[in-house]
Structure 1
Amino acid sequence: MVRSLRTTAAVLLVLLVLLICALAAPAAASASTDGPSDPAEVEAFFDATVPANLAKYNVPGSAVAVVKDGNLVLTKGYGFSNIENATPVDADRTLFHIGSITKLFTWTAVMQLASEGRIDLDTNVNGYLTDITIPDTYPGQPVTLRHLMTHTAGFEDSERHFAAASLNEVVSFRDYCRENIPARVRPPGTVSSYSNYGTTLAAVVVEDVTGIPFEEYLASRILDPLGMNRTSIAADLPPELAADLAQGYAYAGPQNEPIPDTIFVIGPAGMITSSAPDMARFLTAHMDGGTYRNATILSPAAAREMHARTFANDPRVAGMCLGFYENFINGRRIIVHGGDTNTFHSLLAIIPEQRAGFFVSYNSAGGGEAREELLAAFMNHYYPAEPSSVSEPDPSAAARLQAYAGTYASNRRNYATFEMFLAPPEEIAVTVSPDGTLLLNRGGRTLEFAEVEQGVFTKTAGGSPAVHEIVFHQAADGTADYFCIQNVPIMVFERVPWYATVGFLNALKTAAGIVLATVLLWPLLAAFRRSYAITEPPVPVPARIARWVAGAAALVLLLFAFVLVPWIRAQGALITAYLYEPAAPSPLAGALTLPVVATVMTVASVVFAALAWKERYWTVPERVHYAIVTVALLALLWWASAWNLWIFCL
């Protein structure tokens, strides 16, 4: 009894101490029921979140701006804009490159002209262009401004000439659009594929319709009315702004190293420099139906149309608005746009139903992940999700799930030029586990997904289900032709045929190379016969020519595939010259001429292979060998063609 009383007293004493400690500890910031409306609470949240965010992702500095109900709740800087000078980020003064958030300004300009009746979003864009013509690749299916705004024009992706090596080499974005029209690789309106070219082309339309240089239009119709005095689209910033531009960094081992940022030629798609307060003005204007204080940059109807869901790769995933794109987190619809340069990573997010949003920018590569984590933390803090659970996998479904197995790759890539070789598509292998889950292997990392409804899969561990849902789209024949990631509406991951996968092409190259190397036996056997005075069976002249032609083709392709192509990939200066200079470098052009030469000789070898069997040039084993060599020549040319390794693909 005494021991029981003592135990009870001890427990009570411990509980009392814990209670006293809890009461004495500073109260943790709790979210307002009205979202981010209390400045002190909002500042406390960001003070607790952003510094940890910077440390986790090795980012020197960041600036944020938070808006609620049309009011600026917070602007604040964290960390350093310049490590070497120990310059802190000053939210009111420090400038950041906002990357592709620039596109929202271009799309706002387009919507202004549309609401004024000066352009029609559904008219052939060629009708507005004065000196550029988009090819009629799909007759009767022209590219329109609505396609450009939803990234559904069907253009391949290309980064050639979209940036300059120095300010002295920046050309006009009109010249860029005229001279770098990307291939149309799918009919417009089919699926989305993010296109910097499409946005830049829209700025050319703005110029051609208004007769005003885009930079002037942007200033007079958007920046000046909103009082965005610390915002510029110029690649070469005026001195008073350049002095406040944050330094960009790349994390190299133990520390961040300063590096130059991208100099975009495609200014209307990615070159705006701005401050957090200026971006808050732009965000507020969009949040409040196109108006900020006494300035109106969009009519309420135009703003609603711009923010509305316009296109989706699948009804079950986030879609494209007219410029913005959707995210769904914790059951809330958000319209967002990210921005990425070589060193800066930014995000603008608006929760329309809550009239809340924020802008954030970081000055190092880790900002790409940091902004996504900040958005999730913001939503979890102010708009938490309802409790949910993931269904248990069903092992009996494994056989049915095989329909989704295969190799997939992003459709935001190059298809028709040498650039495809420089930036090969990242492949995702989808397999089925015996437990009835899908395993997605991307870059050596495997993620497991469980089916929640037919064709919809959620990550089994870690993260929000809304962020980690993938949805497979069914083609007309019932097969899965691509899958979408729930909150990545700007592209899809299309199924890659087995014969076009990187693994198959690499194996094909190796096998063909081994076969072609056997042509070296021909001169060796001839030398052996001569050395030992072995009489060689007489063969006609065409048979000798046949071997010379096939042998030469084999040596040319072996040199090209196993010597020159690896050399090209290793030549950083050569690749840089290809990406930035107007004409392809001569060494590259010369190397990519070899497959053309080999093609002529291979065609001749095919003819000789047929003649060899008809005229019985050699013994049967020798004829079989010649035929196999010819097939290997064709295989290696197939490999070269798959990677666009031809001079006419430059």
Structure 2
Amino acid sequence: MNKPLLLLVPALAATAALLAAPAFAHPAPAPTARAGTAESAADLIETRVAELLDEQKVPGAAVALVVDGAPVLTAGYGEAVVGAADFGTGTAYYTGSVAKLFTTAAALRLVGEGALDLDADVNDVLADVEVPDTFPGEPVTLRHLLTHTSGFEDRIAGWARWAPAEMPTLAEFAADEMPERLREPGTVTAYNNYDMALAGLLVEDASGLPYADYVAEHVFAPLGMDATAAVREEPAKGPAAAEGYRYADGGQVPTAGRLAPATPAGPGVLTTAEDMSAFMTALATGDPRLGEGVAEQMTTRQFGMDDRMPGMGFSFQELAGPGDGVWFKAGDLSGYHTSLAVVPARGIGVHIAVNGDGEDAAATVAAAEAIVHDVLADLDALPAAPEREAARDDLDAYTGEYTSVRTTRSDFTELTRVFAPVTVEAADGGLTTTGLSGDPAVPEQHWTPVGDGLFQERDGTATIAFTADGYLLTSMSPTAAYEPVPRYDSTAVHLAALGFGAVALAAGFLALTATGIARAFRRGERKPLLRTATAWAAWLTGGTAAAVLVLLATAVADGNLLVQQVVTGAGVLPAVLVLSYAAVGLAAAALVLYAAAAAKRQWTARTATGQGFVVLGGLAFAAILVSLNLAAF
């Protein structure tokens, strides 16, 4: 029973990395022969992308490089469709969350025209959706949506579950799938996909046009982005449109889950390397065709939880530090991963897209982001890390377990926080963290105190900070803070309860099975009915629990496939949820029957102890299923 639990850890860790906000690992810059020129940066891209495709087992890629406000490189590499079509500069691919930049540009354009107000209650514009007044006097505004400070829970499970013909409208989706408001708006950065879906609905209601039509006419057309579009049906795959893949069983397997009603948040948006070159050029040069002042607003710091740490522009995040002038955005869908950075002061833009998860999507994303980082370093576009002297600090005040504020607490994806926790420990005069880097090759990091609650990565450029109210911030992912986990809700408590439940149920299942077989071959006194019913309920609880663990282990054995199944609701996950409810019900039934048998004095001391151990194990297992929303009530 324990082996399936062990199999969950690596896959869920990878899943947590992908479902979390993009984490930029700040590697040391790679040397080049002619550092600092557009040509050297283009050469670096050519070399490193070829290495990425080979090492990560990704079919193809598209890149665009802008330097001094002009396109320098636009290229495709590898295959758009395995064995059938090459990846070209005009090959379309899904942007993922990079499309949030299109939504942001559209919304800010309407702000400039007076049709939207950054600081007005969104309910003033929304026609068919109403955001509840959870925090009286603190309404959600467009500014909150564009900086990911709305306070909504981030929940994406099932977002891609519809067939194209059955897909609801954006307004229907926004009304039916509205998550809970968890925090007062404007207080905590918590990357949230619903934010941008709602921002897209504001674009619709303020303009009177469907989202896809508005961005086509007012964002894409002015820049000549003729191949970029928001779609609700899959295009034919070939030279004109790339297929997305995951690497499994020694080959490339097409993915699913790229379409959803929440188009403004990223799914269902196609672009090309040529179009992204045009878009980056507009951002890097402040092109008024995006809207007067739109690019400048997007690349200006709008919110931060600590002035010493990177913060948020509108949809963009600061890459290295506050006021560094380097802005970053990433996007991920099953089989497609994109990264984009712009440096307006230098007229620089870098974009990389791949059409494959590779063996481990988190590693593929980290490799692509490392290329973006190294290109910026080659162009001397990254500010030098500030020199800070080591300082004394109360390290014990920061130790413990943390979880991303993005962690969903209303569905089964809460599993990720238990099997992929972030921990902070005091060691060697500093701190050691695990699970904080988005790169699976860097599971552990070490930090030196350099200020009040501020720490510098040893042998690196990243920083972390702890706020007065206990949040952990990291320069690797400014789009989401981390909050401390109470001891009673910690990974250790969950795993202890799960381990005890699994052992008790396994022992009971085997013992009851052996007893049942033995009794089948010999006659004996019939046991009291309630005792027999308790035994059957406990036996069924153990069998159902085993099925839950086996199916869950099957689901997470391929982390890339698991991410796809989360958004589509397909695969074995529905069966896991049904069986989880059954296990909880059976555990409760076993408890009731055990108590009833005790009231009738049907137990001996020995049988009461043995059966009680199994019933208690079932309750512990059921409690974890409920706690992690595998059986949500």
Q: TM-score range by the shorter chain?
A: 0.7 to 0.9
CA contact (8 A) 1:167 1:263 kept: no
Q: Distance in 1 between matches of 2:221 and 2:574?
A: 47
- What RMSD in Å do the two structures reach over aligned CA positions? 4.3
Look up the match of 2:333.
341
- 2:306 is the alignment partner of 1:309: no
Where structure 1 has 5 or more consecutive residues not aligned to the other structure, the ranges are: 1-26, 476-480, 537-543
Deviation at 1:370, TM superposition (A): 3.0
- 2:428 is the alignment partner of 1:429: no
Look up the match of 2:496.
507
**Correspondence for 2:433 among 437, 440, 460:** 440
Q: TM-score, normalised by structure 1?
A: 0.75
The 10-residue stretch of structure 1 (366-375 or 312-321) with the greater mean CA deviation from structure 2: 366-375
The 10-residue stretch of structure 1 (421-430 or 333-342) with the greater mean CA deviation from structure 2: 421-430
**Correspondence for 2:172 among 170, 175, 187:** 175
Q: Distance in 1 between matches of 2:553 and 2:111?
A: 46
SS in structure 2 opposite 1:328? coil
**Correspondence for 1:485 among 474, 490, 501:** 474
Q: Distance in 2 between matches of 1:406 and 1:510?
A: 22
1:419–1:47 CA distance, 2 compared to 1 (3 A): closer
Q: Distance in 2 between matches of 1:385 and 1:134?
A: 41
Counting only pairs closer than 5 Å after superposition, residues 599-610 of structure 1 correspond to structure 2 as: 601=589
CA contact (8 A) 1:96 1:273 kept: yes
Q: TM-score, normalised by structure 2?
A: 0.77
CA contact (8 A) 1:549 1:604 kept: no
1:315–1:253 CA distance, 2 compared to 1 (3 A): farther
1:334–1:510 CA distance, 2 compared to 1 (3 A): same
Look up the match of 1:267.
263
- 2:455 is the alignment partner of 1:470: no
Q: Distance in 2 between matches of 1:602 and 1:142?
A: 47
Q: Distance in 2 between matches of 1:193 and 1:288?
A: 29
Q: Distance in 2 between matches of 1:242 and 1:532?
A: 70
Look up the match of 1:406.
400
CA contact (8 A) 1:411 1:491 kept: yes
Q: Distance in 1 between matches of 2:426 and 2:174?
A: 44
CA deviation digits over 1:486-529, x for unaligned, max 9? 131111222222222233212113334556767989x98xx99x
Counting only pairs closer than 5 Å after superposition, residues 24-35 of structure 1 correspond to structure 2 as: 28-32=33-37
CA contact (8 A) 1:482 1:494 kept: yes
- 2:295 is the alignment partner of 1:299: no
Deviation at 1:140, TM superposition (A): 3.7
Q: Distance in 2 between matches of 1:43 and 1:123?
A: 44
Q: Distance in 1 between matches of 2:419 and 2:171?
A: 28
AA paired with 1:51? Answer: A
Look up the match of 1:76.
75
Q: Distance in 2 between matches of 1:289 and 1:153?
A: 27
Look up the match of 1:359.
351
SS in structure 2 opposite 1:90? coil
Counting only pairs closer than 5 Å after superposition, residues 139-158 of structure 1 correspond to structure 2 as: 139-158=136-155
CA contact (8 A) 1:154 1:188 kept: yes
Deviation at 1:415, TM superposition (A): 0.6
SS in structure 2 opposite 1:491? coil
SS in structure 1 opposite 2:74? strand
AA paired with 1:496? Answer: V
AA paired with 2:368? Answer: R
Q: Distance in 1 between matches of 2:51 and 2:541?
A: 54
Look up the match of 2:314.
322
Q: Distance in 2 between matches of 1:412 and 1:65?
A: 31
AA paired with 1:64? Answer: V
CA contact (8 A) 2:342 2:350 kept: yes
SS in structure 2 opposite 1:185? coil
Look up the match of 2:452.
454
AA paired with 1:426? Answer: A
1:586–1:316 CA distance, 2 compared to 1 (3 A): closer
1:279–1:586 CA distance, 2 compared to 1 (3 A): closer
Deviation at 1:101, TM superposition (A): 0.8
Q: Distance in 2 between matches of 1:630 and 1:58?
A: 48
Look up the match of 1:244.
240
CA contact (8 A) 1:161 1:176 kept: no
Deviation at 1:334, TM superposition (A): 0.8
SS in structure 1 opposite 2:479? strand
**Correspondence for 1:643 among 616, 628, 631:** 628
Deviation at 1:319, TM superposition (A): 0.8
Look up the match of 2:579.
591
CA contact (8 A) 1:605 1:630 kept: no
AA paired with 1:357? Answer: G
Look up the match of 2:342.
350
Counting only pairs closer than 5 Å after superposition, residues 148-297 of structure 1 correspond to structure 2 as: 148-164=145-161, 167=164, 170-236=167-233, 243-252=239-248, 257-260=252-255, 262-265=257-260, 266-270=262-266, 271-291=268-288, 296-297=289-290
Deviation at 1:380, TM superposition (A): 1.8
SS in structure 2 opposite 1:263? coil
CA contact (8 A) 1:393 1:436 kept: no
CA contact (8 A) 2:328 2:341 kept: yes
CA contact (8 A) 2:309 2:321 kept: no
1:313–1:622 CA distance, 2 compared to 1 (3 A): farther
Counting only pairs closer than 5 Å after superposition, residues 384-423 of structure 1 correspond to structure 2 as: 386=384, 400-421=394-415
CA contact (8 A) 2:504 2:613 kept: yes
Q: Distance in 2 between matches of 1:453 and 1:506?
A: 35
How many residues of Structure 1 are paired with residues of Structure 2 in the alignment?
580
AA paired with 1:358? Answer: V
CA deviation digits over 1:144-166, x for unaligned, max 9? 22222111222223222222476
Look up the match of 2:22.
none
CA contact (8 A) 2:41 2:375 kept: no
1:257–1:595 CA distance, 2 compared to 1 (3 A): closer
AA paired with 1:131? Answer: D
Look up the match of 1:132.
129
Q: Distance in 2 between matches of 1:57 and 1:304?
A: 36
CA contact (8 A) 2:336 2:355 kept: yes
1:70–1:175 CA distance, 2 compared to 1 (3 A): same
AA paired with 1:225? Answer: P
1:432–1:232 CA distance, 2 compared to 1 (3 A): same
CA contact (8 A) 2:418 2:494 kept: no
1:74–1:408 CA distance, 2 compared to 1 (3 A): same
AA paired with 1:146? Answer: R
1:422–1:379 CA distance, 2 compared to 1 (3 A): closer
Deviation at 1:627, TM superposition (A): 8.6
1:217–1:392 CA distance, 2 compared to 1 (3 A): closer
Deviation at 1:558, TM superposition (A): 3.7
Q: Distance in 1 between matches of 2:130 and 2:343?
A: 38
Please identify the structure whose Cα radius of gyration is greater.
Answer: 1
Deviation at 1:189, TM superposition (A): 2.5
CA contact (8 A) 2:88 2:239 kept: no
